[in-house]
Amino acid sequence: MKVLAINGSPHMDEGNTAMILNPFLDGMKEAGSEVEVFYTRKLKIGACNGDMSCWFVNPGVCGQKDDMQMLLPKIKEADVIVWASPVYYAGVTGPLKNLMDRQLPNHVQGGLSAKKQMIVLVSTCDAWELSMFDPMLMQMKAIYTRPDGSCDFAGALLRPMAEGVKEMVKAGETGLVDGIFRAAREAGRQLVKEGMISEELQKQVSRELMPRDAYYKAAQMMMEQAQKAMKK
């Protein structure tokens, strides 16, 4: 099984999104998949110019010469595509959206992959509320739930209060968060073996770690401490 993962975080492997993405991909590797990861920060991909030349002038071929020439065949050939992004402003990061828009040549009639593809969303945000992911999740389902059955939206691993998770790891409070990473890894194995991610595993990745008020109070204290440190 070929897995293509694209991480839209500007922080790449140092970001919060990688905390969930990496164990998920590890689980897929353990189950025997071939995994390839790309980072939008390392790619040169321009925005779609919307001239539709890839449909009407040179069907299936984008006129722009950049890294999409390398990525488009990989996207077409993948059995699983994993889109990974933090939530900054109600959706995926700008560079990742540019990349998604540039898939248009693969959607020319006859250009789609002949095999069914599974799509997974991995996302994190610093807010406590799980509802912060709703706009992104709605968009992904709209794009990848197709009447012809060419794509299957297999699930989403969503992690709110991600910065809090990172701070817990730094503080050695791994007992509170290890279950999240284990669930992400198991989700990868399950997707390869069963072709789906159970709702239970998705809920374990997103599970509440502390009450809302306690989280925001702790976040405010951390912000004030950071501000004081910068003034010194």
Instruction: Write the burial class of residue 219 (CB in 10 Å: 0-12 exposed, 13-18 middle, 19+ buried).
Output: middle
* Nearest alpha-carbon partner for 4 in 92, 99, 109: 99
pLDDT at residue number 109? 54
Q: Report d(CA 103, CA 129) in Å as an integer.
A: 31
Query: What are the residues facing 37 on neighbouring strands?
Result: 5
Kindly report the backbone phi and psi dihedral angles of residue 23, in degrees, each rounded to the nearest multiple of 5, phi listed first.
-65, -30
Number of domains observed in the structure of the chain = 1
Q: What is the pLDDT of residue 34?
A: 98
Secondary structure letter of residue 52 according to DSSP: -
Give the list of residues 6+ apart from residue 146 with CB closer than 8 angstroms, or none: none
Range list of β-strands (E), the chain: 2-7, 34-39, 80-86, 117-124, 151-159
Per-residue pLDDT band for 221 (boundaries 50, 70, 90) equals confident
User: What domain range is 93 assigned to?
Assistant: 2-231
Residue 153 phi/psi, 5-degree rounding, is -75, 105
Instruction: Please report where in the chains the tokens 């699930």 appear, as a residue.
Output: 155
* CATH code for position 106: 3.40.50.360
Amino acid, res. 32: G
Tens of pLDDT along 113-124? Answer: 456 899 999 999
Adjacency order of strands within the sheet including 2-7 = 34-39, 2-7, 80-86, 117-124, 151-159
Mean pLDDT, the chain, rounded, equals: 91
51-60, 112-121, 127-136, 192-201: segment of lowest average pLDDT: 112-121
Q: What are phi and psi of 185, to 5 degrees?
A: -65, -45
- Return the pLDDT at 73: 94
Q: Which of 211, 98, 102 minimizes the C-alpha distance to 164?
A: 211
Write down the pLDDT at residue 5.
Answer: 98
> What are the backbone dihedrals phi and psi of residue 113, each rounded to the nearest 5 degrees, phi first?
-60, 135
Across the range 63-80, mean pLDDT stands at: 95
Residue type, position 19, single letter:
M
Packed helices 174-194 and 16-30: angle between N→C axes, nearest 10 degrees: 40
Return the pLDDT at 176: 83
Residues whose CB is less than 8 angstroms from the CB of residue 189 and which lie 6 or more positions away in sequence, other chains included = 27, 28, 30, 31
